[in-house]
Chains A and B, each alone.
Chain A
Amino acid sequence: MLEDELNVSIRDRDGVAIIDLVGDVTTFAEEKINSAYAQVNEKGARAILLNFRQNDYINSAGIAILIGIVTEVNRNNQKLAVSGLSQHFQKIFRMVGLAQYIDIYQDEEEAVKGFAATATQ
């Protein structure tokens, strides 16, 4: 019981590969997040957005998975951003240093615009 409560799905918007993460991000999220990343990577995504929704619970094991994704993104020369995080988890991301490596946007709209702006620079 108390199984993992994360739904992960992938879509494309204006050339940004969006990975929607709805629910809890804990150690049980590892396979789902890594395989979603592998899929968008295989499709040749350059800009990747982790779009969080209804995340009442993200813990250090979940953050470790995201750091793993940052490693891959750096290796593959992609751009990574996150959106939809609550104020609390934005703070947690800053505490662990993730904010230095990932652009944090309030919502998906803002993130997609942000990607477009950096692409034209």
Chain B
Amino acid sequence: MPVAHGQVNKSMTLSNSDAETPDRIVELRLPSRLGYEKVAMDAAASLARRMGFNGDRVEALRTALAEAVTNAIEHGNERDSAMKVLVVLIVRPDELVVSVADQGLKPLDHDQTTHIPNIEETLHKSDKGGWGIWLIRELMDEVEFSTAPSGGNQVRMVIHLEQ
């Protein structure tokens, strides 16, 4: 192909991690229906694997993203499948940033994003859920909850690439 190969190759190679390398962004919009979180998981895993994350880290990312997307579907968008979940993956030389935003029918309060569940406690409660956010915090290197530009809930997760 007469297309500038040198250029393409350069930007494709992780070792060329100079400050000039711009972020590469992948955006995925999904309907708020359970099951679609698997599409997001496979998209992120495909990207992460090819960035050089090892199998364990890719699995951690899949699990964290599944929790974030199902939260967005079930809580933020209250399972209204006309509502979209936006997943943004930002590829950097040394990390992958994953943001999940919903359309915020039901904002998360501070308590929900910081609560540390306890297995003993949960065994006695009728609601056995509430582990998702805790799991995300356990699995990802950086986690931040905020309000998305769209007004919905947003969780921003970062996973570092250890060389």
Whether the complex brings A and B within 8 Å at their CB atoms is answered yes
Cα A1 to Cα B50 with chains together (Å): 7
CB distance from B96 to the nearest CB of A (A): 9
A2 at the interface (CB under 8 A from B): yes
Interface range on chain A (Cβ under 8 Å from partner): under 10
Contacts of A27 in B (CB 8 A): 1
Q: Which of B72-102 contact A (CB under 8 A)?
A: 91, 93
Q: How far is the CA of A2 from the CA of B14 in the complex (A)?
A: 8
Chain B's closest residue to A24 (CB) is: B50
Q: Does B112 contact A (CB under 8 A)?
A: no
Interface of A is mostly: loop
Contact B14 A1 (CB under 8 A): yes
Q: Is A5 an interface residue (CB 8 A)?
A: yes
* B13 at the binding interface (Cβ < 8 Å): yes
**What is the distance, in angstroms, from B48's C-beta to the closest C-beta of chain A?**
10
| Residue of A with least CB distance to B46 | A2
Chain B contributes a number of interface residues (CB within 8 A of A) equal to 12
Tell me whether A14 is interfacial, beta carbon within 8 Å: no
Is the beta-carbon distance between A1 and B1 smaller than 8 angstroms?
Answer: no
In the bound complex, residues from chain B placing their C-beta under 8 Å from that of A4 are 12
Binary interface profile of A, 47-78, with partner B (CB < 8 Å = 1, else 0)? 00000000000000100000000000000000
CA distance A56 to B98 in the complex (A): 25
Q: Digitize B6-18: 1 where CB-to-A-CB distance is under 8 Å, 0 elsewhere.
A: 0001011110000
Contact: A2 with B1, CB < 8 Å?
A: no
Instruction: Report if A3 contacts B (CB, 8 A).
Output: yes
Chain B residues with CB under 8 Å of A5's CB are 50
CA distance A99 to B12 in the complex (A): 32
A interface with B by C-beta (< 8 Å): 1-5, 27-28, 61
17 A–B contacts from the bound complex (CB under 8 Å): A1-B13, A1-B14, A1-B50, A1-B51, A1-B93, A2-B12, A2-B47, A2-B50, A2-B51, A3-B12, A3-B13, A3-B14, A4-B12, A5-B50, A27-B1, A28-B9, A61-B1
Q: A1-B91, A2-B51, A4-B12 are in contact. List 11 more A-B contacts (CB 8 A).
A: A1-B14, A1-B24, A1-B51, A2-B12, A3-B12, A3-B50, A5-B50, A27-B1, A28-B9, A28-B12, A61-B1
